[in-house]
Amino acid sequence: MKADMPWLKPVAQQWLQQRKQGRLGHALIVQGPSGVGKGRLADWIVEQLLCESGRGCGLCKGCQLLAAGHHPDRYDLAPEGQQIKVDSVRTLISQLAGTSHQGGARVAVLNQAQRLNQASANALLKTLEEPPAGVYLILVVGPGQPLLPTIVSRCQRLVVPMPTAEQIQHYLGADGVPLAQWPYWPRVLGGPMALKEAIDAGQLERLSGLLEAWRRSLAAGLLDAKLSQVDGESAATVLKLLYFELLSQCEEKSERMAWCYPVMKQVAQTQRWLDRQSGINLTAVFQQLIAEYRRHALEGE
């Protein structure tokens, strides 16, 4: 396990302990917030399972094949667009019905498994119930639609936590996001890996400008011009900025919570609503939220 991601070590130790005690199941859910290294943990587990010594030695043929990116007993499945389709699951099941190429375990990693639809999840159920000998399934689950209970009940689970602020700052380095100035960035964008990607892409600078635009809007009661330029693709993240800005105000002055909470609830409901809609006039939606904030503020204070 990589030293720069210490929050993964306790989770890895949990898995090792289960294997040592003979309690390792054939299906595993790895879940947690975005950007915390769930994929890294899944890769490490694959290394343990496909290594000839069982410890990810890095020297055996299995480890060398994994390092080269073409181990014949590792299978990967990811969404096509917004869903993992049933035909892809059926193809995977057909592949797993064969025999091991290297004479050991076979491991399938389903990335963004929360994108299994009803049909693809049902297609996977029988394999989860009666997996072929030596087959392991790792379902990597991020935020979004929860897995079907019938899937969850047939899997063991490892939960990767959000790292502490100190761990995030150490991962990002001295030039990373200033969590001391606004500690909610991980809750808006995700863990250290997601934050680093946002910083490298210049996204954090743009979002910081939009956060300031929300602050100006809340103070003035009118939507800032920057927010009127937001498109549908960014709307959910921009509403998260508003939600956590309101939360920060409540944490600074606890007496605000009574009147600010209804606005926060409406922001969250609006975000969920926008996820299911298209072609919405975002300027009008954002202005309505500003008006609600000002109305509750006047009544509360």
Residues 210 and 152 placed together within one structural domain of the fold? no
Mean pLDDT of the chain: 92
pLDDT band at 26 (very low <50, low <70, confident <90, very high): very high
Residues 13 and 82 placed together within one structural domain of the fold? yes
Q: In whole angstroms, what separates CA 175 from the centre of its chain?
A: 24
CA pair distance 75, 109, nearest whole angstrom: 6
The per-residue pLDDT for 1 is 64
Residues 114 and 226 placed together within one structural domain of the fold? no
Query: Is position 129 within any domain?
Result: yes
Query: Is position 174 within any domain?
Result: no
Residues 220 and 154 placed together within one structural domain of the fold? no
CA pair distance 230, 207, nearest whole angstrom: 11
Query: Is position 72 within any domain?
Result: yes
Domain boundary among 159, 191, 215: 159
Query: Is position 216 within any domain?
Result: yes
Query: Is position 164 within any domain?
Result: no
The H or E element spanning position 212 is helix 203-220
The per-residue pLDDT for 95 is 93
CA pair distance 69, 83, nearest whole angstrom: 24
* pLDDT higher than 90, residue 71: yes
Question: Do residues 263 and 286 lie in contact, with contact meaning Cβ atoms separated by under 8 Å?
Answer: no
Question: Do residues 81 and 52 lie in contact, with contact meaning Cβ atoms separated by under 8 Å?
Answer: no
The per-residue pLDDT for 276 is 77
The per-residue pLDDT for 2 is 66
Residues 210 and 143 placed together within one structural domain of the fold? no
**Between residues 93 and 181, which one has the greater pLDDT?**
93
Going from the C-alpha of 5 to that of each of 18, 37, 41, 55, the distances in angstroms are: 21, 8, 10, 19
The model carries a pTM of: 0.88
Q: How many domains does the chain have?
A: 2
Residues 10 and 140 placed together within one structural domain of the fold? yes
pLDDT band at 301 (very low <50, low <70, confident <90, very high): low
| pLDDT digits 0-9 by tens, 230-239 | 998 899 999 9
pLDDT band at 278 (very low <50, low <70, confident <90, very high): confident
Query: Is position 97 within any domain?
Result: yes
- Per-residue pLDDT averaged across 62-90, rounded? 95
The per-residue pLDDT for 143 is 83
- Per-residue pLDDT averaged across 37-64, rounded? 95
CA pair distance 215, 224, nearest whole angstrom: 9
Residues 152 and 208 placed together within one structural domain of the fold? no
* pLDDT higher than 70, residue 146: yes
Query: Is position 184 within any domain?
Result: no
Residues 214 and 127 placed together within one structural domain of the fold? no
Residues 35 and 149 placed together within one structural domain of the fold? yes
- Per-residue pLDDT averaged across 107-124, rounded? 95
- Per-residue pLDDT averaged across 289-301, rounded? 87
pLDDT band at 87 (very low <50, low <70, confident <90, very high): very high
State percent of the chain over pLDDT 90: 79
The per-residue pLDDT for 140 is 97
Task: Return the biggest CA–CA distance within the chain.
Answer: 71
Residues 143 and 68 placed together within one structural domain of the fold? yes
- Per-residue pLDDT averaged across 88-104, rounded? 92
Residues 208 and 123 placed together within one structural domain of the fold? no
- Per-residue pLDDT averaged across 204-224, rounded? 95
* pLDDT higher than 70, residue 175: no
pLDDT band at 275 (very low <50, low <70, confident <90, very high): confident
CA pair distance 72, 66, nearest whole angstrom: 9
The region of weakest confidence among 43-52, 69-78, 178-187, 213-222 is 178-187
The per-residue pLDDT for 272 is 87
| Structural domain harbouring 231 | 202-300
